[in-house]
Structure 1
Amino acid sequence: MTARRPPSSLLTLLTRMRGPSPGLGSSLLGGVLAAGLGLASFAVLVMVMWISSPYPDSGPGGALHVAAALWLLAHGAELVRTDTLSGVPAPVGVTPLLLLALPMWLLHRAARDAVYGGKEDAPLVGVRTAWAGVVVGYLAVGVGAAVHAAGGVLRPSWGWTAVCLPVVAVTAAGAGVWTAYGRPRGPGGGALLVLPRWARQLVLGAQGPEWAGAGARAAAAGAAVLVGGGALLVGVSSLWHLWVAREAFLHLTEGWSGRFAVMLLCAALVPNAAVWGASYALGPGFVLGAGHVVGPLASDPAPLLPPFPLLAAVPEAGAGGPWNWAAGAVPVAAGVALGAFVGRVSVRRSPWWAVGVVLLAALLCGGLMGVLGELAGGPLGVAALARFGPVGWQVGLAAAAWAVAVGVPAVLAVRGWLRRRPAGAEREGVVPVPLPAPVQAPPEDDFGSEPYDFARVEAEEATKAVWYRDEARETRWAVLREAADHGKANEGQANEGQGNEGEGNEGEGNEGQGNDAKTPDGDGGQGGGEPREREPGSR
């Protein structure tokens, strides 16, 4: 079963324009629409910057070329800058990760809506149809954008464009289709369907999606703690070097439009800075110029760095001290979080199962951090600027090593603590209360109420349970005996006043004589019209 969601208004409009039967056509239009919206967003931003600039270098055509080039850069493609002082083309390969979020979200939304077909009552479109349609439509616009950007000063690298653009489209569209179908096979098993059967059995083992799902969730938790800890390190260092960052921001440009552009660039590079901080905490650090590495043990930034506010957070050159070594708390926290996630789901499993999941989570976490490290860095020129940022494979290996070293003891500790907690919770004087048996729902004709209305049934069951208890029955018999004795006393007083004992009581309803024959013990009771009840303990 999959939850149906109403399609977006734009896709519904396109479907009505095309025809009543959704399918491959609506998926193609969804991909084209996603690419068009992304390009339009970048074009609006660049045109605003161009209009507000007091000394633009080119006309509106050049601004549109730059917008198309930035849209390709957001997908991870490398650009080549041709207007350099030396005349040698300089590569630009640092992808602002915040810009990557826009095309990913648009593709995800387009693929999800393509599955729904543009109408609420329409049948779901096939997986391959929706996925292929969105990808083909998106790539068709992407090829046109690359051709258009090739005529500007920032030209796309065709090799990087041919690799990065399809990878982003295929991944985001596949995630959207998977979401539309209710995320089947768990978070890990569905992603391994591309592998052969023997490879899936080797990776997943006998537990299948449960094993892979637990590992994927733990890996995501560990990566999130690493990136969050890196962002915290960057924020603390930026506050410590706040005066240096302010001077770099003011001297980089003078006009308000230029400062606004620098502020937007800094905001787009904040996720990159968080990944750089995570790489610093893991140990490999990051590269600031060819041959210059900045890490917690030693810092050696390039001597002629351009003034930029985010670079003000880089530690000073020299050997690291205790404050630099304290960054190691970030990977320790990530390993503990990874182990805690696995420990919660492995309480009723064997220790080897838990350790195996930790190893899988460490592998996935290392791969994810390696990809993020590779995307967060890249070249910004030639010679000394040929490499900026973390080295992907080093970050991945360090993250996997920290996850195994900290995650295995953490999962065993969490698992042992959770297994001992139920036994320690049973203290003296604490008696477990059994839960009442579930009450079935009464039929609608019995009470005239809606189905699944248990309030009246529960009230009657509670009343019956109290009425037939021995304590309640003994209390009722005591009240009946007291009433019978009181009736006998009133009867004697009335007979003495009239001087006639035993006569005249038949017409007036002598309760004492009538009840002597009806009560089991011969004592007086209530009138004969009341129902008789057995005394507690009698058979």
Structure 2
Amino acid sequence: MAGVIEMTARRRPPSSLLTRLRDRSPGLGDALVGGAVAAGLGLAAFAVLVMLLWITSPYPDSGPGGALHVAAALWLLAHGAELVRTDTLAGVPAPVGLPPLLLLALPAWLLHRAARDATDGGEEDGGDGFAGGVAAVEGLAVVAGPPLVSARTAWTGVVLGYLAVAAPAVLYAAGGALRPSWVWTGVCVPLVAVVAAGAGVWSAYGRPGGPLRRLLGILPTGVRPLVLRPDGRPGVAARAAAAGVGVLLGGGALLVAVSLVGHGAAAQTALLRLTEGWSGRFAVLLLCAALVPNAAVWGAAYALGPGFALGAGHVVSPLSSAPVPFLPPFPLLAAVPEAGEGRWVHWAAAGAVPVVAGVAAGWVVARGAVCGERGGTRPGSGGGAVWSPGRTARAAALTAVLCAAVLAGLAALAGGPLGGSVLARFGPVWWQVGAATLAWLALVAVPTALTVRAWHCRAPQADGASIAEQRKEPTEGTRQGMRRRLGSRPARAWFTRTGIAGIAGVAGLTASAGPAGPAGAAGPAQDGASPADTTAKPKTSPPAPDAPYAPFAPLDHDNP
């Protein structure tokens, strides 16, 4: 009987086992479902778009199965995976590895949103009608509690769920005309999932600076605060690099837009020759819109000097333009300058972009240095620490390095092959773009930062002198007024800017009582003394809280 009781005590019902399993990894199931839903929504969006274009096409080349294969291949291309086209005229498979960067925004956003929502554990109610995101109420302020699911659990679940749907999609796309490359697919799709899901979890936890500081552990100790501040906000060099990259990309997009307007007739002719019917032209315009970020990166590479390649051995740069003579008509390619040597207009337009980017980056660095010298408390002020010229120059140089790294990465993503032979290289060369960015930013940003810092450092001295002069004038006036008011002519008192306290002093001249007079003006009448004899020193009341500030003026008898 004792053995039966012992066995019964050790047994646990299945419900308790499920509860223990759920408690060990809370939210893992919701994270898996969220990642799978994110992958499914991305595939569905591409499938709907491709099927819509296939239905409206007047001459469809394949059936619905072929359209779905193309949709799966485009979804993989959006992640950066390289595709292989098998139905070529020569019978040799041709690679297609130029991903439209705008297509990457949809999978990245879906992954970010899924990972951020996975940290809430499905927003289960705790029995009181409120989600678990609100921890307590202190007075009138609602204090949000930490996420219910750990960062590792949410991140792992979303990544595994996303890859669980991506694997069948890769196998399905392998049976179409555009087959994914196994090596590129095995690297790019998990990389996008890991980075985007990590960013979503990091955002859900309030963007703490600890993970970034661990990633920046390879940098020297004196460089880390310039990239990331102790409170987790970007440092001076990071903000300056963001400004420089923004100006470079914006300038590159502006160059492409101006060239397209100048070659508007050629772009229209290319659109009309490429396809017939409104559905085909709509598809071409959608492809052009998806390639706009690529065009901005190509324009920035053109402005920096290295330019970009339109085929192996055919480089387009401000110095010379040599595009492939047998390129298919495409509206964006109409913006390419004519073949031949570059003119002074190309040099001026291209050279202005990196110069403006260097000036913007140097100005941001100098502003951080000036705030530090003035001891400001604004973000980037350095807590009042004095920024020497050497530290300012190092921050500007680090800004150039960060800009070069970002532009090199974007150049690597914005290019790729479109076939074999001559079409094996399209886009800028990443290491050339990185080297040119480093040279331009270092030559422009460092002198700009030092010049702006030196100019601002002289301003506080002049401001301090002017403020001292302004304070000196009212002090002298107040001193003279006090001397005259305490002199031999009390009736003609000179009033100064003493606020309510001065008004109370004037009231004391007319309403002060005698030595024994408790009622103000009744004292002289009862004692029979003359008004001159009953004149007493004015008693000033303490200033009111809203009285304006009056500088202290020492009297003559205060001086030893």
Length-normalised TM-score, structure 1: 0.77
The answer for the alignment partner of 2:137 in structure 1 is: none
- 1:109-128 equivalences in 2 (<5 Å): 109-119=113-123, 120-122=131-133, 123-124=146-147, 125-128=149-152
- Secondary structure of 2:229's match? helix
Q: How far apart, CA to CA, are the structure 2 residues paired with 1:39 and 1:305?
A: 31
Aligned in 2, Cα 1:243/1:206: closer, same or farther, shift over 3 Å?
closer
For 2:102, the equivalent position in structure 1 comes to 98
CA contact (8 A) 2:504 2:540 kept: no
Q: How far 1:202 sits from its partner (Å)?
A: 5.5
Kindly indicate whether residue 538 of structure 2 is the aligned counterpart of residue 535 of structure 1. Answer: yes
Q: Does the residue aligned with 2:355 lie in a helix, a strand or coil?
A: helix
Partner deviation per Cα, 1:479-521 (whole Å, 9 max, x = no partner): 438x99xxxxxxxxxxxxxxxxxxxxxxxx9x85785459997
Question: 2:247 matched to 1:225?
Answer: yes
- CA distance in 2 between counterparts of 1:203 and 1:380 reads 45
Match for residue 288 of structure 2 among 266, 273, 292: 266
Q: Deviations over 1:218-257 (max 9, x none)?
A: 2121111110000000011111111111111111111111
CA distance in 1, matches of 2:45, 2:313: 38
Of 385, 393, 396, the residue aligned with 2:434 is 396
Q: Which residue pairs with 2:140 in the alignment?
A: none
Tell me, yes or no, if the aligned pair for 2:34 and 2:114 is still in contact at 8 Å: yes
Kept after mapping to 2: 8 A contact 1:286/1:391: yes
Indicate how the Cα distance of structure 1 residues 377 and 207 shifts in structure 2: closer, same or farther if over 3 A, else same: closer
Matched, 1:367 2:405: yes
- What is the alpha-carbon root mean square deviation over aligned residues? 3.1
Change over 3 Å in CA distance of 1:207–1:286 after alignment to 2: closer
**Aligned-pair CA distance for 1:283:** 0.4
Residues 514 and 206 of structure 1: CA distance in aligned 2, closer, same or farther (over 3 Å):
closer
State whether residues 94 and 378 of structure 1, in contact with CA within 8 Å, keep that contact through their aligned partners in structure 2: yes
Residue 534 to residue 74, structure 1, CA distance change in 2 (3 Å): same
SS of the residue corresponding to residue 80 of structure 1 reads: strand
Contact 1:114 1:130 in 2 (8 A): yes
Q: CA deviation at 1:289?
A: 1.1
Partner Cα separation in structure 2 for residue 519 and residue 177 of structure 1: 88
Structure-2 residue corresponding to 1:77: 81
Distance across 2 between alignment mates of 1:433 and 1:169: 63
Greater Cα offset, 22-31 or 32-41 = 22-31
What are the Cα deviations for residues 175-233 of structure 1, in whole angstroms up to 9, with x where unaligned? 11221222222xxx7435246x5x34468468783397322222121111110000000
Does structure 2 conserve the Cα–Cα contact (< 8 Å) formed by 1:284 and 1:398? yes
Question: Alignment length, in residue pairs?
Answer: 452
CA distance in 1 between counterparts of 2:333 and 2:172 reads 33
Q: How far off its partner does 1:524 sit?
A: 8.3
Question: Highest Rg: 1 or 2?
Answer: 1
> Could you say which residue in structure 1 is the equivalent of 2:364?
341
- Check if 1:473 corresponds to 2:504: yes
Does residue 320 (structure 1) correspond to residue 331 (structure 2)? The answer is: no
- 2:227/2:237 contact within 8 Å kept: no
For residues 23-422 of structure 1, what are the structure 2 equivalents within 5 Å?
23-119=27-123, 120-122=131-133, 123-124=146-147, 125-185=149-209, 190-191=211-212, 193-194=214-215, 199-201=218-220, 204=223, 209-210=228-229, 213-326=235-348, 327-347=350-370, 348-422=386-460
- 2:185, 2:109 → 1: CA distance? 19
TM-score (norm 2): 0.75
- Aligned pair in 2 of structure 1 residues 314, 405: CA closer, same or farther (>3 Å)? same
Structure 2 partner of 1:11: none
Instruction: Say if 1:407 and 1:51 are closer, same or farther in 2 by CA, change over 3 A.
Output: same
Distance 2:239 2:163 in 1: 31
Q: 1:91 is paired with a residue of what secondary structure?
A: strand
Could you tell me how far apart the structure 1 residues matched to 2:330 and 2:184 are? 27
Alignment partners' CA distance in 2, 1:296 and 1:331: 13
Change in Cα spacing, 1:357 to 1:300, as seen in structure 2 (3 Å) is same
1:292 Cα deviation from its structure 2 partner: 0.5
Q: 1:25 to 1:81 in 2, by over 3 A?
A: same
User: What is the one-letter code of the residue matched to 1:82?
Assistant: T
CA distance in 2, matches of 1:108, 1:229: 29
| Structure 1 SS opposite 2:89 | coil
Q: Read off the aligned partner of 2:363 and give its amino acid letter.
A: A
Q: How much has 1:290 moved relative to structure 2?
A: 1.0
Report the secondary structure of 2:90's partner residue: coil
Which residue pairs with 1:440 in the alignment?
A: none
Alpha-carbon distance in 1 for matches of 2:212, 2:522: 87
**1:216–1:364: 8 Å Cα contact kept in structure 2?**
yes
Identical columns (%): 60
Q: Is the 8 A contact 1:515 1:524 kept in 2?
A: no
Query: Which position in structure 2 is the counterpart of 1:458?
Result: none
Q: CA 1:354/1:266 → structure 2, altered by over 3 Å: closer, same or farther? A: same
CA–CA separation in structure 2 for the residues paired with 1:309 and 1:353:
48
Q: Distance between the aligned counterparts of 1:513 and 1:365, measured in 2?
A: 85
